[in-house]
Structures are given as C-alpha cells and as structure tokens.
Amino acid sequence: MPAYKAPLRDMRFLLNEVFDYPAHYAQLPNGKDADPDTVGAILEECAKLAEEVLSPLNLSGDEEGCKLENGEVRTPKGFKEAYEQYASGGWQGLSHPTEFGGQGMPMSLGLVKSEMIGTANWSFSMYPGLSLGCMNTLMQYATPEHKAIYMPPLTEGRWSGTMCLTEPHCGTDLGQLKTKAEPRGDGSYSVSGTKIFISAGEHDLTENIVHIVLARLPDAPPGTRGISLFIVPKIIPNADGSLGARNGVVCSALEHKMGIKASATCVLNFENAQGWMIGEANKGLEAMFTFMNTARIGTAIQGICHAELSFQGALAYAKERRSMRALSGKKEPDKVADAIIYHADVRRMLLTQKAIAEGGRAMIYYAAQLADHMTNGIVEGDQKKYKYWDDKLGFFTPILKGFLTELGLEAANQGIQVFGGHGYIKEHGMEQIARDARIATLYEGTTGVQALDLLGRKVLIMTRGKAVREFTAVIAKFSVDNMRNPRMRRYATVLAKYAAEWNLLTMRLMLTARKDRDSVSAASHHFLMYSGYVMMAYFWALQAAIASEKIGNGGSEKPEFYKAKLATARFYFDHLLPRAKGHASSMVKPSKTLTKLPIESFVFD
C-alpha cells in the first residue's frame, strides 16, 4: 500500500491562488477564525494525522477486516487508538458549532479534512463520516433538548452516528420501506424492522452509537409521503447525558464486501427499540434529504481520494521499475532498462490519474464554497438562504458524485495497470484501492441515480435548463477573458465550443423529453458524463490560467509547480476531454434503441 503523502502544495494552490478562500472566509460569519495561518496549521496537522496514524492502518485494516462476535463488532487492530487520536484532536467537530463543542469552522474545511483522512484510509473515514451525517440531521431537526443530549458527545467524537435508510428490498426506492414506529404514549416510539448496509452500524470505537432511522408511523400513508425520522440510540442516554439502558437494536450480521473491509457494514435489527421522532411526521424523507447534497459531495471526494492514492503508488513504482527502452532512445543508458515512466503510454496512465485527482479536487473546492453558504443558512435558521445555496449546489452535486466516483474508479484501475501483473498482488495495495473505490459509484445513490437527478430533476424539472445556462455563461465569460492570452487561447477556444454545445444539447433533450419521457433516462448517463468532462475542462483551464499568470509574472521562485499545472491541463484537453464527443453523440440517440428490445429477447437458449 502506498504511504500517503498529503498533496498540500496543490491544496494551498486551490485554496489561496485559484479560489481565494481567504476572501471567501472573510465574508462568512463563521469564517473569521479561518484566517490563512490557522487554515495552514489545520492542513499541516491533518496531514500528519493522515500520513502517520491512518495511512499505516490501511492495508492491515483490509486484511484483517471487522469481526462480529455476540453482537459486538471488533474493528481492525489500531483503529481504536487511531480513532481516539482523531477525536481527541478535535477533528470531528471541526466544522460544527462551538455551542456543541465544535470548532465552528466553515464546512469547506471539513471537506478538505475529509479528503486527507479518506485518502489515507477510506474505511477508517467511514466511521466519523457517517457521524457527520447524523450530526447534520440532528442539528437541523432535533429539539433543543435532544440537541443538548446528543450533539456534544457526537461533536466530541465520544459517540458516533449512522443513517439507517436501506432495507433488504429497497435502497433507492425508499417508498417501499417497511420499518415501523409505534407510539409508546410517552412521546417516544417503538421502532421495529431490519436495516441493511448500515455503515458504522456497530463497532468498538465509541461508547454509544446514535442511529437516525427512517420508519413508518401506524397511520402513515403509503410510499414516500409516509416516512418519518427517528433518533434511536444504541444505549439510551439519561437526561443528564450519562448512559442508561441498552436499546433494542442489534447487529445481526456484517456484510462480506469486495472492499472497504475495515468499515463495518451492518445488518441492524430493530426490535421495539425506543426512538424519538425528529422533524415533522411523514416528512422524514425530506428531512433526510436536507443534507443530501453535502453527503454526496462527501462521497464525490472518494473519487479524488482513490485517484490520488493510486497515483502516488503508481508514480513511485513507475520511477523504480525498469523495463525496455523508451522508443525515442535510451533514457537511462547505464541501467539495464529505462524506468517505465519514460514510456509515453505509462505517462498517459499516470497523467490520467493526476488529471482526475487534481481536476476533481478543484471541482470539490469550488462546490465547497457553495456548501459553506448553504450550511450557514441552516445553522442561522435562514431557510431562504439555505434554499438559494442548496439549489446552486444541487447542480454540482450529481456531477461531482457521479462523474468523480466513476473517474476515481478508472484512476484506481490505471494504478493497477501501471504495476502490470504486480498490481494484481495484494501486498502492493494497488488492487485494494480499486476494490475500495468500487463502492463509490454504488452508495449515496448509484451513478444512474445521480444521472437522473442531474438531467431529470436539476436541469429539466427544477431549472428548465437554467442551471446549465448559468454555468456555461461562466465558462463562456472565462473563454472571452482568456482568448487573447496566447498560452490560454487553445483552451478558451475549445471551452467556448463546449459551452455552446452543452446548452444546445440540453435544449434538444428538453424538447425531446416533452414527447418521450423515457428519453430522459436514456440520455441521462451520457449527459452526466458529458457534463463532468466539460466541467472538469473548465476547472483545468482555470488552474492553467492562474498558473500561466504566475509564470508570466516571473515572480514565482518555483515555476515548476505551475508548469506542471499547464502540462496537466494540456493533457486533460488532449486525452480526456475528447471523450465528451462520444457522450454528446450518444445522448441524442433515440430512446427506443434502449427500450425497444422485449424483456424476453435479451437471451435465447
């Protein structure tokens, strides 16, 4: 397993040079303390934790996995100690309000942290990650009494949390869910049912686990309009916050998974477990979806985590492994053969990984600023503000989640490929990265769900194309601004064409969708991937523009970093962006290509 080294130079480039986070934080009510020095110190400390404590447990965690014995889950060796360091360092509450013991930093810093923690050890990061989802939900919907009990230990990391949605027969289609909640008459409820795929559903890292559970009241209407939200703690806290009785929720099995083996994926049986409703009756699904955009960006990060880690591993190997000679002649004549990094095709693979990791990171850092405003809307109880920024963010979420996790998986597979046969061997850790990365396109809404959310909901229904028009206007303006810069003209020209095409394609799909509703599903995947490639192209051009400016100024002591940005942008435009052409062509093909074949004609004996 490659030893993780946090890409701090790239992170600082994005924070300070590309997206001007200092100015962004200065305007946020909770950004005063996030001055550049503090942010710098947080990055350094987080990198240390990730590199020194979490990264060394990544391979061993996969090998050992989690064990279930008598309803108790044992996490792999070293996880408990690592989690204690994580919690005692105050990392869990980094972006949560000070009134609950958090550090009150903006949400975006939490995302930066998540990347480092997640790249070092994605399985580990699932435990605090799920807790964040639970905390966010409580923060918005719980009563002050419940917040007082639950938020401080969760923020401190002394307790952890989960999100219990999926049941054996339904995941995406939550309208089918069956878990019941019956009033006990004392204001609490008896929750009964089976939930599956519950990450961090049971483990030995914290003294209590707070489940946020979707269930139906006895008189609830069927479907999605009859789902309510409940707090169901593993151990019922007393009014003073101390631990009381064990609740009726039991982990009956751990899933055997392809990867993220150190993350406990639990089947949870709720048997008359005591729970408390939060939010309004029958509006649980809406409540659950409040932080959906944030949660999905948390998963989008997985794409860049695995691209980055696999890149670091492949790069080290490509410099070290010697095979054949470069076609243009010996590069290391005194060696038995040239290092494989001298082969253009190996560089193509490495640059693919690098372009995905850094291009994706830029997309995340951009969206993270929107998430800051959105989160503040919630914290401040300003519904209008929340809605405004959540809508803005909502356009980026499915693209980031769907596109970046697909590309993250590709990058992880390229890392194996650079290793050749050795990539298939467990000891090197490269295959684990691909197995760990494989979950990212499945959970938090599959790529297909993201694609439909993007094209069907965000673009066609909610904004009638406006979301695309707005973002392509940003691209178009960038193109105009950069057309006269000789270093940038190439990118400006290409981007201008794609911005226009993206709009045209959107319009064409809108028109088709009026007559043919299946066309939305038929086009959605290609539209998602197309959007991702064009959006990433913009963020690469943006990075190139800044880099080119820095080089042009001559003021940079170390132009190599900026030159590498230019080279990677060039690579992206030459080798990855052209894939958008195929998607552009396929998305406008008739839906009947997909729908026409009768079900019984897919195979013949």
| 444 classed as catalytic | yes
Q: Quick check: 446 binds its own copies (CB under 8 A)?
A: yes
Closer Cβ to its own copies, 35 or 173, answer by number: 173
Whole-angstrom distance, CA of residue 548 vs CA of residue 554: 10
The DSSP annotation for 17-69 comes to IIS-HHHHHHHSTT-TT--HHHHHHHHHHHHHIIIIIIGGGHHHHHHH--EEE
Residues 490-549 close enough to bind its own copies by CB under 8 A: 516-522, 524-526
Q: What phi and psi, each to the nearest 5 degrees, are found at residue 388?
A: -60, -50
For 43, 182, 192, 432, the CA distances from 247, given in Å and listed in that order, are 39, 15, 12, 36
Closer Cβ to its own copies, 100 or 498, answer by number: 498
Q: Quick check: 603 binds its own copies (CB under 8 A)?
A: yes
Quick one: angle between helices 518-553 and 344-379, nearest 10?
100
Whole-angstrom distance, CA of residue 126 vs CA of residue 260: 9
Residue of 358, 444, 557, 560 marked catalytic: 444
- Map residues 541-580 to x or -, x wherever contact with its own copies holds by CB under 8 A: -------------------xx-xx--xx-xx--xx--xxx
Amino acid making up residue 445: G
Q: Quick check: 166 binds its own copies (CB under 8 A)?
A: yes
Residues 131-150 close enough to bind its own copies by CB under 8 A: none
Please, which residues have CB within 8 angstroms of residue 393's CB and are 6 or more apart in sequence? Answer: 293, 297, 367, 370, 371, 374
Structure tokens at 102: 């958090």
Whole-angstrom distance, CA of residue 402 vs CA of residue 383: 27
Closer Cβ to its own copies, 243 or 442, answer by number: 442
Could you tell me how many residues of this chain bind its own copies (CB under 8 A)? 112
Residues 242-261 close enough to bind its own copies by CB under 8 A: 255-259
Q: Which of 344, 484, 486, 557 binds its own copies (CB under 8 A)?
A: 344
Residues 72-101 close enough to bind its own copies by CB under 8 A: none
- Map residues 323-342 to x or -, x wherever contact with its own copies holds by CB under 8 A: xx-xxxx------xx-x-x-
Q: If phi over 0 gives left and psi between -120 and 50 gives alpha, with beta otherwise, what is residue 123?
A: alpha
Q: Quick check: 586 binds its own copies (CB under 8 A)?
A: yes
Nearest to 307 by CA among 348, 257, 360: 360
- Map residues 401-440 to x or -, x wherever contact with its own copies holds by CB under 8 A: --------x---x--xx--xx-xxxxx---x--xx--xx-
- Map residues 196-215 to x or -, x wherever contact with its own copies holds by CB under 8 A: -x------------------
Q: How far is the CB of 488 from its own copies (least distance, A)?
A: 16
282 and 221 Cβ atoms separated by less than 8 Å:
yes
Q: Which helix (H) or strand (E) holds 236?
A: strand 235-237
Q: How far is the CB of 274 from its own copies (least distance, A)?
A: 28
Q: Which of 85, 88, 553, 595 binds its own copies (CB under 8 A)?
A: 595
List active site positions.
444
